[in-house]
Structure 1
Amino acid sequence: MGAFLAVVRRDLALSLGAGGGAGLGVVFFLCVITVVPFAVGPDLVLLSRIGPAILWIGALLACLIGLERLFAADVEDGSLDAMSLSVLPLELTAAAKGLAHWLATGLPLVIAAPVLALMLNLEPAAIGAVTLTLLVGTPAVTFLGLVGAAFAGAFRRGGLLIAVLVIPLTVPVLIFAVSATTSAVTGPVPFGTPFRVLVGLTLFALVLGPVAAAGALRVARA
C-alpha cells in the first residue's frame, strides 16, 4: 500500500506542478461549455435538453488531456524500468497513475460541473444527476484511457493514438451517463437502471484498464 500511495503522490505532484492537470482540464471544459451555446443559439429549452450531453462530451475530452505523457515521460527517463522492478506489480503501478490523473483532472471537472451547468439552463434535478454521473463515470474514462496512454508511451505514437483507441471505448459510458441524467428529469425509465449500468462499466474499467495498460507496456519492453 505504501508503494501504491507513493506512486499516486508522485504523479499527482508532477501533474499539478507541470500545470497540465486540474487547471488545463477545467479551462478546456469551460471553453467547450462556453462555445456550444453560441453555436446552438438563444433557445434555452434546447440548451436544457442537450445540456447533459454537452457537459459529458466536454468532460470526456477534458479527461484525455495529459494522458499522452502519463507513461511517455517514464519511458523516456527510465522510471518505468525501475517501476517494473519494484515490489509493486505493473498493474497496480498503472492503477496508481490512473488514480493520480483522475484526482488532478477528473475530480476538478466534477466540482466545476454544477457551476457550468447553470450556463446551460439545467434544472436542479438535472444538475444533481449529471454531477453524480460525472463522479461515477469519469473514473471509467480515465482508466480506459490508461490503455491508450500505455500504447502512446510505449510505441511513441502521440496523443492521436489515445483518441483513436479511447473514444470508441468510452461511448457506452457516455450513452448510459446521459441516459441516466435524462431519466432523472423526464423518465420514463427510472434513474437507477442506466446508473447501475454506468457503475458496472466503471468497475469493469477499473479492472480492465490497468491490466491492459500493463500488458501493452510489457509487450513494448520485450
Structure 2
Amino acid sequence: MLKLFFAVVRRDLMLAMRQKADLLQTVFFFLVVITLVPLGVGAETGLLRSIAPGIVWVAALLAALLSLPRLFAQDFADGTLEQMILSPDPLALIVLAKVFAHWLTTGIPITVFSLLAGLMFDLEPAVTGALAASLLLGTPVLSLIGSVGAALTLGLRAGSVLTSLLVLPLYIPVLIFGAGAAGAVAVSVAPGAYFLITAALSLFALAVAPWAAAAALRIAVS
C-alpha cells in the first residue's frame, strides 16, 4: 500500500513539475490577493494588522480553489482515471495520494509565502508564526474537501464554478479557526484551542474525504 501511495505521489509531482505554469499561477494569485488588499483598504498599520490573518486565509482558500481542477481532470481526459478505478488497488488510497501531492504543490507553497505576507502586513513574528502554523494545519482541509468537489463536478460544463459553490460553504469552519489562531496571538490569547480545532478538522476530512471522492469518481466515470 505504501509503495502504491508513494508511486502515485511521485507521478503527480512529476506531472506538476512539467506544468510549472499551473504551480506558479496558484502562488501568484495568492500573492496578488494579499498585495491588492492594502491598496484597497489603505495603509493604516493597525487596520492591516487586524485584518491580515483573515485576508491571508481567504487568499489561501481562493488559491486552493483555483488549483482544484487539475486534481483529476488530466487523468480523466487521457483515460488514466478509468484504469485507476478498474485496478484492484483501493481507489480511496489513490485519491489520498493525489490529494497529498496537490497539498505539497499548493498548501506548502502558500504556507511558505504566508511568511512574506507577515512582513507585508507588518505582523509581529509570533503572529506570523501562528498564521503559518494554522495554514500548515488547515490547508489539508482545502485539498481534501476540494477533492470531493472536484470529483463530483468532473466532466461537467462549468465544473470549476460548481466546485466552488459546493466546497466554499464547507471551507468556512477551517477559515474561521485558522484565522482565529493568528488573531488570538495578536491579542495575547493562547491559540491552542484554535490549533486543536483546525487539526481536528483536518483529521476529520482525512477520514471522510478520500472515500467520498472515490465514490464520486466512480459515478463520474460510469
Secondary structure of the residue aligned to 1:64 is: helix
Report if aligned partners of 2:99, 2:144 keep a CA contact under 8 Å in 1: yes
In the alignment, structure 1 segments of 5+ residues that lack a partner are none
**Alignment of structure 1 residues 80-119 onto 2, 5 Å:** 80-119=81-120
Count of residues in correspondence between the two structures: 221
Q: Distance in 2 between matches of 1:174 and 1:20?
A: 27
**Alignment of structure 1 residues 17-166 onto 2, 5 Å:** 17-166=18-167
Report the alpha carbon displacement of residue 204 of structure 1 after superposing the two structures with TM: 0.7
Report if aligned partners of 1:91, 1:214 keep a CA contact under 8 Å in 2: yes
Report the alpha carbon displacement of residue 163 of structure 1 after superposing the two structures with TM: 0.7
Report if aligned partners of 2:174, 2:198 keep a CA contact under 8 Å in 1: yes
Deviates more, 1:76-85 or 1:179-188: 179-188
Report the alpha carbon displacement of residue 185 of structure 1 after superposing the two structures with TM: 2.0
Paired residue type of 1:62: A
In the alignment, structure 2 segments of 5+ residues that lack a partner are none
**For the structure 1 residues 37 and 105, does the alpha-carbon distance in structure 2 shift closer, same or farther, using more than 3 Å as the test?**
same
Report the alpha carbon displacement of residue 143 of structure 1 after superposing the two structures with TM: 0.6
Paired residue type of 1:53: G
Q: Distance in 2 between matches of 1:21 and 1:208?
A: 27
Q: Distance in 1 between matches of 2:46 and 2:173?
A: 26
**For the structure 1 residues 8 and 21, does the alpha-carbon distance in structure 2 shift closer, same or farther, using more than 3 Å as the test?**
farther
Deviates more, 1:83-92 or 1:120-129: 83-92
Deviations 1:71-91 (A, max 9, x none): 122122110111112242111
Report the alpha carbon displacement of residue 193 of structure 1 after superposing the two structures with TM: 1.1
Q: Distance in 1 between matches of 2:25 and 2:4?
A: 28
Report if aligned partners of 1:4, 1:92 keep a CA contact under 8 Å in 2: yes
Percent identity between the two aligned chains: 46
Report if aligned partners of 2:151, 2:220 keep a CA contact under 8 Å in 1: no
Report if aligned partners of 2:145, 2:167 keep a CA contact under 8 Å in 1: yes
Paired residue type of 2:207: V
Secondary structure of the residue aligned to 1:159 is: helix
Q: Does 1:183 align with 2:184?
A: yes
TM-score normalized by the length of structure 2: 0.94
Q: Distance in 1 between matches of 2:70 and 2:126?
A: 37
Question: 1:204 corresponds to which residue?
Answer: 204
Deviations 1:133-185 (A, max 9, x none): 00000011111100111022244542111111111111000001111111122
Secondary structure of the residue aligned to 1:214 is: helix
Q: What RMSD, in angstroms, separates the aligned Cα atoms of the two structures?
A: 1.4
